[in-house]
Amino acid sequence: MKVTIKKTGINGEGIGYIDRMPVFVPQALIGEEVEIRIVDKQKRYATAELLRVVKSSKNRIRPKCFIQNTCGACPLMIARYPAQLEYKQDLLKQSLIKYAQIDPRKVARVKASEDVFGYRNQFKLPCAMEEGRLVSGLFMPNSNYFIDVKKCWIHEDGLERIRMDIMRVLNTHGCESYNPHDKKGIRNLVVRGFDNRYQCTLVTGNDELDERLISDLMRIKGLTSLWQSIHTIKKTPEVFGNKMIHLAGETSLAMELDGLKLRISPRSFFQLNSKQAVQLYRTIASMVKEDNELIVEAYSGIGAISLYLKDKAKEIIGIESIKDAVVNANQNAALNGCEHVSFLCDDAANKLTYLSKKRSIDVLVVDPPRSGLDDAMLDCILRSKIKSIIYVSCNPATLGKNLAVLSSRYNVDRIQPIDMFPHTPHTEAIALLCRK
């Protein structure tokens, strides 16, 4: 069976049509004629396996990673980078038109990533036993099949070196992968790094790690912070457990970003692409006028955006529900001499409701998780008199749905996408909303 690919799907797959039914074909690009085999047929769509590319796209290239097809993390690595940016822009426009009827002319061109390989500053990888050795890797999408990742091309070079060094030490000490029956072993390896300084968290069962193992790990060049996270809960998407144990080195990871001094704890969120994070913050700052009285940031994380806007308002308040991140954020405010910037640990909707009743808010910055703004947050914003909103989103679908709700009180001025994740279908979008 043959089909011509007409669109790119939200997961980076090609979409063709058979009798008006969309057929999702992984590893296929727009404009290609492909031979396929239907592997799953539902009432409204079908999923197919690519058997052969009959007519290839001019944008198709050989992927740099030899497990690209099985890993599934970088579905667009088969396309030239300029084409990837076009696919991402189209996906964003499609979602905004579908859910919020946004004029596509308001969507600017995607800002390309300076690095298309070696850009990730963090990984969270599961561990497994392969031929008697502990390895780190990935599970194939929608399966329990584990892939031993020998090299990840999108990880920063030093991050990959640290990963190999850590795995070597763990194997030297005879460490094994997590066993759910006795609740012991290495479950996940989490490492983040900036400027050749790295923080490692071993996510384990109820293990008491040997002091010699800890000592050998801390001898790895560049490893400055070592933590353990106890995680024994079954079938959860959470990588970290509730119990965190500081094993050695510094308690947080230091970095400097475009003049900002920041410290980050293991569970605190930070953008995965450091260079593009600078582009993100500069773009946000360009959307904020000068001489504001009060700026509020919801889902403020370690406070990087609020601190980047430090010269834009007399007072800035960040709201974040994760305690570790709030501690980091207030430390970061002190590190940068920003007495007028403070961070509160609270639910975003609850605290914003309180603040908006007591104070006049000039600018609200929101950077929610992929699920977007919940109903309580949307209702709070609509009831407030906030003058302008900057919405930072990593999910075009939830951005579109949220903008549709907010459109009753706000006009969408412009939207700037930024490519934080080359070779994936994901992009970050910054929307500026002004009150009607």
Q: Which residues are annotated as a binding site for S-adenosyl-L-methionine?
A: 271, 299, 320, 367
CA distance 307 to 270: 14
Q: Measured over all CA atoms, what is the biggest interatomic distance in the chain, rounded to whole angstroms? A: 66
Quote the tokens at residue 55: 């007519």
10 Å CB burial of residue 7 (0-12, 13-18, 19+) is: middle
CA distance 276 to 114: 7
Annotated binding site: 271, 299, 320, 367
Quote the tokens at residue 313: 């308002």
Beta-bridge partner residues of 319: 298, 344
Beta-bridge partner residues of 297: 318, 365
Quote the tokens at residue 83: 């084409």
Q: What is the DSSP string of 168-179?
A: HHHHHTT--B-B
H or E stretch at 330: helix 323-335
CA distance 217 to 187: 17
Q: Which of 71, 175, 200, 394 is catalytic?
A: 394
Catalytic, 394? Answer: yes
| 3 state DSSP class of 110 | coil
CA distance 257 to 308: 10
DSSP 409: T
CA distance 119 to 113: 9
CA distance 365 to 188: 33
Between β-strands 133-139 and 146-148, what pairing exists: parallel, antiparallel or unpaired? antiparallel
Radius of gyration of the chain, Cα coordinates, nearest whole angstrom: 23
CA distance 392 to 370: 10
Of the candidates 67, 75, 64, which has an alpha carbon nearest to the alpha carbon of residue 25? 75
Quote the tokens at residue 103: 């004029």
Report the catalytic residues: 394
